[in-house]
Structure 1
Amino acid sequence: MALTQDDLLAISQLLDVKLKAEIQPIKNEIQSLKSDVQSVKTELLAEMQALKAELLAEMQALKAELLAEMQALKAELLAEMQALRAELQAEMQALWAELQAVKASLEAEIHKIKLFQENVIMLRLNTIESCYLSTYERYKDSTEGYEALQADNEIMKAIIMEHSERLQKLA
């Protein structure tokens, strides 16, 4: 039995029909799965968008809250700095006033010292100077005589020693 071309074609068509009948449910199932996957994908995208929007809103709220806290902290620090600046200014003014008082006191003391120096010390120094100068003038002339006396004394010592030795030898 030889199969002809027509027989083979008829068998092929029968197989095609049978295959199509069996493949169609698989295709339908694949199509259903594709549709399910697309549906899940759409749901996931929607959930991701909602989550993204929610996170953005939370981030914006957190950013606003942090900015408000930073502004409050900045205002508090500025107020503290102003208070410190005012306190420091008051301290500087008090120190300046105290320094001016000390300066005035020192100037008064220096003035007193200068007056004392001029009226008392300089007079006494002039008196001491004149005393020493007059004493110097008196002793200046007598120093020459003193040197001559000393030379004579040395000669006398030598002679007395020599006479003393001679007397010792004689006795």
Structure 2
Amino acid sequence: MTGAPTSEFPEGSWASSPGNRRSMQSNKGRDTKPELALRRAAHALGLRYRVSKRPIRDIRRTADLVFTRARIAVFLDGCFWHVCPEHFTVSRTNPEYWAEKAEKNRARDRQTDRLLQEAGWAVLRVWEHEDPHQAAARLKDLYDRRVAAQGDKGVR
């Protein structure tokens, strides 16, 4: 069973316990509750998008929502993984490892934003705790401004 949580605890695992290992293995990469709520709210505003797609094929970064013609990449960031200023807490177990991991994630996020912006993309980051309707309204505003700037060429 590839990818399924397991009670096995292989030697050399980075997890501090079998329970932590199972918990981390069960984290979803897409279609999380906050992501689905944001997608529903954006769709209700008439926005159509691609899900879990690389905005730039040659750059190995996947955005949660992508508006290809308007060139908008939306990332829904988890509070723990992306160091939310309101909700991030340092792990009590293996804190050095997780602090380093969190800082690498933040650096990668900044690099992703820079690479996309240099390529002409707008980047919108949404925290998982944000109200999905408010985030979708911000997205709609950004989308409308991008479309207007392009001279409404039927961009969707």
Q: What TM-score results when the alignment is normalised by the length of structure 1?
A: 0.18
Q: Which has the higher contact order (CA 8 A, sep 6+)?
A: 2
> Between Structure 1 and Structure 2, whose CA radius of gyration is higher?
1
